[in-house]
Amino acid sequence: MTKKQVSTDDLIAVIIKGIDDVKGEDIQLLDLREIENTVCDYFVICSGNSNTQVNAISGSIQKIVSKEIKDKPWHIEGQGNSEWVLMDYVNVVVHIFQKQVRDFYDIESLWGDAKITEINPI
């Protein structure tokens, strides 16, 4: 039995739903496809107000992606201190920040050539 191919757009939609379900804030989608030598096609970036909320967002994403798409992240980093959790779904990398850490690293500016889309809550 082969695994059903899921489109990147479907994966992004489910990830955003997982963020929104636990009130993740300031969601942005960075399209990196036009930039040379990137590690993935998209970044999904969001913020949480505490390490508890960052963990909740990460857990919500894992749960809903597993349930609806039958997929799991290839790799997760940062769950120990929950200031910045990175979830790698190969074509899509999710960055979940506490607000002050997001402001400090400002990865949106580092990837300034990317097409950035603001995602409004559902």
The per-residue pLDDT for range 12-67, each reduced to its tens digit, is 999 999 999 999 999 999 999 999 888 899 999 999 999 999 999 999 999 999 99
52: tokens are 């508890």
Per-residue pLDDT reduced to its tens digit, 72-101: 999 999 999 999 999 999 999 999 999 999
Q: What domains lie within the chain, and their CATH numbers?
A: 8-108 (3.30.460.10)
Total count of residues recorded for the chain? 122
Q: How far apart are CA 22 and CA 16, in angstroms?
A: 10
Task: Give alpha helix (H) positions in 23-106.
Answer: 51-69, 99-105
The residue written with tokens 């597993």 in the block is 66
Asked if residue 6 has pLDDT above 90, the reply is no
Higher pLDDT, 88 or 4: 88
* Confidence (pTM): 0.92
Element (H, E) at 13: helix 8-21
Strands 42-48 and 92-98: parallel
Question: Residue 122 is encoded by which pair of tokens?
Answer: 């559902």
